[in-house]
Amino acid sequence: MARPWPPLPRSGLDLAGRNACRWLEALALLHVVGGLALPFVVLYGNALDVWLPAPGDATASARFWVAAFGPTLASWGLLAWFLVRRGLREGRRWACDALIYAVLTWLPLDLALCLNFGFTPGLVADLVAALAMLPPLLWLRPRLTAH
């Protein structure tokens, strides 16, 4: 049976580098799963009701926008998975730079939004995600080729 995706490229990374890539791939796939689950959690669950207006409220459109963010999160995770799988594993520094810049673009704005709206779980999730991604990326970067 053929795989739905190509095999992993052979890279010049050592075992620690390959393990860092595995970790980053797992985080990217976690973004995909979490992003796909978010609309269901927001629309059909009550875990986030403390921060969201009640259904039928005049401001209930906030619930829609939070749910709509899920597919965006999932697509970001898929893009990150591709960059790790086809960029970092091939030893390409540009892929690492793209992921570092993406995190550094997203993190300050998302933290500011969470602070402004008092969304504590978002603050925690942002910091955990950034601390899970940035150190391995910064560790891998000098081990990758410039092209």
Q: Supply the DSSP string of 8-23, one letter for each residue.
A: PPP-S--HHHHHHHHH
Per DSSP, what are the bridge partners of residue 145? 92
**Could you report the per-residue pLDDT of 34-49, keeping only the tens digit for each?**
999 988 877 776 666 6
**Could you report the per-residue pLDDT of 91-142, keeping only the tens digit for each?**
899 999 999 999 999 999 999 988 998 878 889 989 999 999 999 999 999 9
Tokens of 101: 């810049």
Tokens of 123: 């603050």
Nearest of 90, 103, 84 to residue 20 by alpha carbon: 84
Position 28: which residue type? A
